Amino acid sequence: PPMQQLVRDIVSGARVVFVTGAGLSAASGITPYRGTPNAIWSQFLTDWGTRAKFVEGPDAWWNEFWLHTHEMPMFLEAKPNAGHHALASLSKLTHIRVITQNIDRLHLRTSLAPDHLAEVHGRLGGYKCINEHCSNASAEEIVLKLDDYAVDGTQMAANNLRIRTPHCPLCRGPVMPLALFFDELYESH
């Protein structure tokens, strides 16, 4: 049976890759992006989940889409669950790697070494320049605090944050989240 083979492989020290997605983080309070009535992408998939929509109106994109579906206290404050910790513990004992489609950074909040993790869809709290000719378009990530861009006295902690679009420190182009959008290819981040 497959589970017994997996156990044998892990115990023998074989290289094993785990692929994780929304199901793992649901126990941490992260809403799945598809397949449920409350799924985030079911509400915004074709209209907002693209780089093209961002370029059309960055301020609206941040304030009408991203800050209401991703970068919000409930997700930023989520804690890794037993599944995340189990994979981190296994990584200390044998040769496992984790590939995740999740952008929630929960694997990184465990003892899992960053070099044992591939975040193929990007990471929450990281940002990239939209200007493809800028080195920050393909850099590891631009670090910034969205509260520094708040307007009208809003703030992340109050879950009412509205921002003016952040700009790249190198080229002054608009900055967007370090995530893979539906009209992008994997190499675009």
For the annotated catalytic residues, the residue numbers are: 121
Which CB contacts under 8 angstroms, 24+ apart, belong to 44-53? 44/69, 45/182, 49/181, 49/182, 50/181, 50/182, 50/183, 50/184, 51/130, 51/176, 51/181, 51/183, 51/184, 51/188, 52/183
108, 122 Cβ separation under 8 angstroms: no
Q: CB of 51 within 8 A of CB of 181?
A: yes
Rg (CA), the chain: 18
DSSP code at position 142: B
